[in-house]
Structure 1
């Protein structure tokens, strides 16, 4: 299963928020911010903190991508 956090970064742009400053306000590390940028999995606790800060739902900041099947 793959995820994307493009919605989060679009939301930050729409709200004119700097990624690094936002991460500090939420209390997430630069490593976690990098994971989000690379569309890697982060803990649910991190997602909840982000949603609380932005007053949104998880659907507003991430998307679960459909699985792709490899052909043999």
Structure 2
């Protein structure tokens, strides 16, 4: 399965918050932000920090997609 953070980026646009704002508020590293931008897995702790800042649930920010191998 692959993770996608499309919902996160849409949520940021809807709330008029930049990725830089999230990075500062959560004190995430640039490497972690890069993982989010490239739909790479990050820890639950990271997702919980972002969810707390955005006042949302993890499921509001990401979802899992089946890859062709998983089908």
Give the TM-score taking structure 2 as reference length.
Answer: 0.91
Structure 2 gap segments, 5+ residues each = none
Whole-angstrom CA distance in 2 between matches of 1:8 and 1:18: 11
Give the TM-score taking structure 1 as reference length.
Answer: 0.89
Whole-angstrom CA distance in 1 between matches of 2:54 and 2:46: 12
User: For residues 20-52 of structure 1, what are the alpha-carbon distances to aligned partners after superposition, in whole Å with 9 as ceiling and x for unaligned?
Assistant: 121111111111011000000001100011111
Structure 1 gap segments, 5+ residues each = none
Q: CA RMSD in A?
A: 1.3
Shift >2 Å, 4+ stretches: none
Whole-angstrom CA distance in 1 between matches of 2:18 and 2:56: 18
Whole-angstrom CA distance in 1 between matches of 2:50 and 2:64: 17
